[in-house]
Amino acid sequence: MGEKKVEIIVYGAEQLCPSCVNLPSSKETYEWLEAAVSRKFPGQPFDITYVDIYSPPEESEKREFAERVIEEDMFYPVVLIGDKVVGEGNPRLKTIFAELETHGYRAD
């Protein structure tokens, strides 16, 4: 795969968003996603980063998006691939996999 590793970013918080009561936590979603992507695209490296929207990293892009999640009351976790939102609240693997495939990932 000649392309650069894709970074999947999961924006979330410890506390569940009010409308996400029965859903897994952001952290659980992040762990589940990491496992699912590794299984679907074995041997194809990717980066996955968890960003706590209430204590985002110094990196300005991540910080700004974290603020946006709060300001716009987005359902989190919000999953980004590149700068594209591929999941909100209850991300769907199908959507995430389809986006990864546009970046050159191939399912086995």
Question: In this predicted model, what pLDDT tens digit does every residue of 18-70 receive, in sequence order?
Answer: 766 777 889 999 999 999 999 999 999 999 999 999 999 999 999 999 999 99
CATH number of the domain encompassing residue 27: 3.40.30.30
Task: Indicate whether 107 belongs to any domain.
Answer: no
Residue 108 domain-assigned (yes or no): no
Domain-located, residue 33? yes
Q: Note the pLDDT of residue 24.
A: 85
**The pLDDT value given to residue 14:** 87
What is the C-alpha separation between 102 and 108, in angstroms, rounded? 15
Number of domain units in the chain: 1
Q: Quick one: pLDDT at residue 1?
A: 45
pTM: 0.91
Cβ atoms 43, 49 nearer than 8 A = no
pLDDT given for residue 85 in this prediction: 97
- State the residue range of the domain holding 37: 6-102
